[in-house]
Chain A
Amino acid sequence: MSTRIRFVIFALGALGLGALLVHGVVDLPSFGNYPGPYGDLIAKLAPKERHMVNTVTAVVFDYRGFDTMGEELLLFGAASAVALLLRERREEDVHGVDDRVTSPAVRGVGALAAVMLLVIGLNVVSHGFITPGGGFQGGVILASAFAVVFLTVEYRAYREIATTSFGEPVEAFGAGAYVGLGLVALGFGLSFLQNFMELGIPGRLSSGGSAIFVNFSSALAVFGGFLVIFSEYIEENMRERHQ
């Protein structure tokens, strides 16, 4: 294809995209102006109706819990696809792999950071209905604690605490528990994933009713999912280094 034809095709595409962009931006509400009633309503209703102070998590795990289930299963599918594509033949033997991290300072700081990340992750998960965060964010933080172990301490230490056979059941249990909680609500004669427990006092760690369990199961699913993805990529690299 000559440069000229390429340029003509690019110009046509750019013009079309530009026109669409301008068309889309013109009708936007002005900067900082929120027109919809839904957000304001939720902000007023969630603390009274669901006893949850952080309304974002209230929407994610209670009002729109079904949508979040879709996202959960999406991550489940992604992790499964990564495992399916990369896990063709696995080296079980990890002896002879050279570990690049030798500085004791890096190892020390890394181990400390991993422990801190674990604590922060659990904190973010459990305070989901009170402060910003929740199952998704906390789950990724928990998984990244393991990634830090790999990056700073050593591969063998990582392999000992996070084999792929460790991440998979965690992920599967989390995703299954999420769906299971929805079915339990159905069993009580409520809608799918509807809150079926006592809501507790707003602002307390125990507030939120059965959505607490939804929150924790999504944390497990996300934690396991990211762990599976990390492990597959890391194993893939280690196999390369091994040969």
Chain B
Amino acid sequence: MVPLQSVCLLFVALGALAVVVTQDVVRQAILFSIYGFSLVVLFVIFQAPDVALSALVVGGIAYPLVLVSAIARVAAQRKRK
């Protein structure tokens, strides 16, 4: 179990780094969903299925939707100017 846990932790750390380093906001939003999914896997492996479910729906659907719609709004505003 410990090797699996270490691999998961590594994935989460790399994912978080990738989100922070990325400059383009749309790519950042997509990377964030992937990072959110790696968090879900982490929670499952650390035997916290309740938290995994919350992370799955909030990190996978709710947060990216709000983020992407905000990005679309800003992009549309810029285009008009």
Tell me the A residues contacting B by CB distance below 8 Å.
Answer: 32, 54, 56-57, 124, 132-134, 136-137, 140-141, 143-144, 147, 151, 226, 229-230, 233-234, 236-237, 240-241, 243
Q: Assess the B66–A233 pair: CB atoms within 8 A.
A: yes
Tell me which residues across on chain A come within 8 A of B65, comparing CB atoms: 147, 151, 230, 233
B residues touching A (Cβ–Cβ < 8 Å)? 2, 49-50, 52-54, 57-58, 61-62, 65-66, 69-70, 72-73, 76-77, 80
- Asked if A136 contacts B54 (CB within 8 A), the reply is yes
Partner of B57 from A141, A151, A241 at Cβ < 8 Å? A141
Distance in Å: Cβ of A199 to nearest Cβ of chain B = 21
CB–CB B69/A140 < 8 A: no
Contact, CB under 8 Å: B54 / A241:
no
Which listed residue (A133, A230, A243) contacts B50, Cβ 8 A? A133
Given contacts A134-B50, A147-B65, whether A233 and B70 have CB atoms under 8 Å apart is: yes
B1 to chain A, nearest CB (A): 9
A226 touching B62, Cβ below 8 Å? yes
Please name all residues of chain A whose beta carbon is closer than 8 Å to the beta carbon of B57 when the two chains form the complex.
137, 140-141, 144
Between A and B, 17 residue pairs with Cβ closer than 8 Å are A57-B50, A134-B50, A140-B54, A140-B58, A140-B61, A140-B62, A144-B57, A147-B61, A147-B62, A229-B62, A230-B62, A230-B66, A233-B69, A233-B70, A234-B69, A236-B73, A240-B76
